[in-house]
Amino acid sequence: MIPQDEACTTAAVQRHLADLAGAGGESAVDQILRDLLARAVGRLQLLCGTLLFRQYPRLTQPPLNLQTDELLSSVVERLLKLLRDIHPTNVRQFFALANQHMRWELNDLARRLDAQNAVLIGNAELIPSPESSGSLPTENLVRILMAIEALPDEQREVFNLVRIQGMTHGEAAEILEVSEKTIQRKLAAGLLRLSQQLGNLRPDFQERVAQPSS
């Protein structure tokens, strides 16, 4: 069952999105955007924290020491600019857009950190090769990523939250405002589709895609 506060958040976000679509004038748009992000900030903070600490933990360590609120601030700034031109029509699209920009922000920071480390090391031989023994060959990685992107929207969304971001079924259910059984059903359907499309890959590659949830 969806918590009452979460249901209120969804209704408020949807109302602000509707207002944004019909807003006229820059000042009106700015006010709606600020109201929208203020109402959504709690859920955005949850998404930022989950993604940062589960998928990018090295960014929380020196020298960056990135914290959830810092990431949240950067993402809100991105959304303030983006939503002046792009208007999601529903809550799911809004949070999917926010999630995408969280990843872009974190990827940008990770690339800068890697570049800084490479300069400090000053010796290319000391930089680990991308094709290490524990990494997927490029062509297979591309196939897996393309297969994930080709999943139906709801299956891909669940797969990203559970398999990529590392959320539990309960956390994903809260974000998407569905039952845990729905999450399990969508995830199972997505994994079956991936297994069918990637069936000719070596078993260890398939296990990386379909490893059990914690």
Q: Is 153 exposed, middle or buried (0-12, 13-18, 19+ CB in 10 A)?
A: exposed
Are 26 and 91 within one domain? yes
> What is d(CA 68, CA 181) in angstroms, rounded to the nearest whole number?
29
Choose the final residue of a domain: 124, 158, 178: 124
Domains held by the chain: number: 2
Q: Is 135 helix (H, G, I), strand (E, B) or coil?
A: coil
The residue-averaged pLDDT of 44-53 equals 90
Q: For residue 206, what pLDDT band results from cuts at 50, 70 and 90?
A: very low
Are 102 and 181 within one domain? no
Choose the final residue of a domain: 104, 124, 144: 124
pLDDT tens digit sequence for 182-195: 999 999 999 988 88
Q: Is 13 helix (H, G, I), strand (E, B) or coil?
A: helix
Q: Using a CB cutoff of 8 Å and minimum separation of 24, what contacts does 19-24 make?
A: 20/83, 20/87, 21/87, 21/89
Are 86 and 181 within one domain? no
Are 134 and 188 within one domain? yes
pLDDT tens digit sequence for 98-136: 988 998 899 888 888 877 665 544 433 433 444 433 444
pLDDT tens digit sequence for 159-190: 888 887 778 898 888 888 889 999 999 999 99
Are 132 and 119 within one domain? no
- Which pLDDT score is estimated for 118? 56
Are 61 and 3 within one domain? yes
Are 31 and 99 within one domain? yes
Number of neighbours of residue 38 by Cβ within 10 angstroms: 12
Predicted confidence (pLDDT) at residue 202 exceeds the cutoff of 80: no
Are 115 and 191 within one domain? no
CATH of the domain at 134: 1.10.10.10
Q: Is the pTM of this model over 0.75?
A: no
> What is d(CA 47, CA 56) in angstroms, rounded to the nearest whole number?
13
| Nearest CA-CA partner of 57 in 110, 99, 105, 100 | 110
Are 117 and 164 within one domain? no
For residue 98, give its domain range. 1-124
Choose the final residue of a domain: 100, 124, 148: 124
Of 134-138, 194-198, 208-212, the poorest mean pLDDT is in 134-138
Are 106 and 140 within one domain? no
- Which pLDDT score is estimated for 122? 43
Are 28 and 120 within one domain? yes
**Is the Cβ–Cβ distance between 30 and 78 less than 8 Å?**
no
Are 107 and 144 within one domain? no
